[in-house]
Amino acid sequence: MRQTDIRPWTPEWAARYAEAAEFLKSVLGEEAVAVYHIGSTSVPDIGYAKPIVDILVVLRRIEAADACHERLKAYGFEPKGENGIPGRRYFTKGGDRRTHHVHMFEEGHPAVQAHLDFKAYLSAHPQDAAAYGELKLRLAEQFPHDTKLYQEGKQEFVNGLAQKAASWAARSRK
């Protein structure tokens, strides 16, 4: 059973991202339009996160993700298919002690911009980022052995942040 493990932010997460990103780029080649570090480990002002590096890969064609399963598996990435999000290819690394989540989308998928906007918003709004980190810490203390209840406990707050991020990004693009 996975534990709810929340740790103080560390620059080690950026190094783990960089190593995995280089590998992903080498496997995907020209099919990879861009690779981004996303999620709580990518925003220092959040302060706390599960030690799982989230990576967003934007592909020219989503089928490129399906074509490289064996090379990804050899590196420890386990394919999970869409895993609840149409048009995504999702991979985890580390089993019950996960170290990475990789989210692959085809260029133009709305989730790509939503992820990037969410990160940009939290990077530009350190008070909201810190409030998110404090919520993560409280929920981890409350639900140390139940990751499902931990996730459910933060969902309303995350949804509110996502709405703020989308509105902020739309205003910023005008």
110-146 pLDDT, tens digit each: 999 999 999 999 999 999 999 999 999 999 999 999 9
Per-residue pLDDT at 96 = 84
Q: What is the dihedral of CA 137, 139, 144, 145, to 10 degrees?
A: -150
Residue 1 lies in a domain: no
Residue 2 lies in a domain: no
Residue 66 lies in a domain: yes
Per-residue pLDDT at 1 = 55
Residue 62 lies in a domain: yes
Residue 58: closest CA among 21, 98, 13 = 21
CATH code, domain with 154: 3.30.460.10
Taking residues 56-79, what's their average pLDDT? Answer: 96
Residue 31 lies in a domain: yes
Residue 25 lies in a domain: yes
Per-residue pLDDT at 173 = 86
Residue 102 lies in a domain: yes
Residue 60 lies in a domain: yes
Whether the pLDDT of residue 15 is over 70: the answer is: yes
Per-residue pLDDT at 3 = 78
Global pTM reads 0.95
Helix 110-124 / helix 147-173 crossing angle, nearest 10 deg: 90
- Contact yes or no for 101/54 (Cβ under 8 A): yes
Return d(Cα 140, Cα 157) in angstroms, integer. 15
Return d(Cα 21, Cα 7) in angstroms, integer. 22
Per-residue pLDDT at 174 = 82
Number of domains in the chain: 1
**Which residue segment(s) compose the domain that 91 sits in?**
7-173
Whether the pLDDT of residue 65 is over 80: the answer is: yes
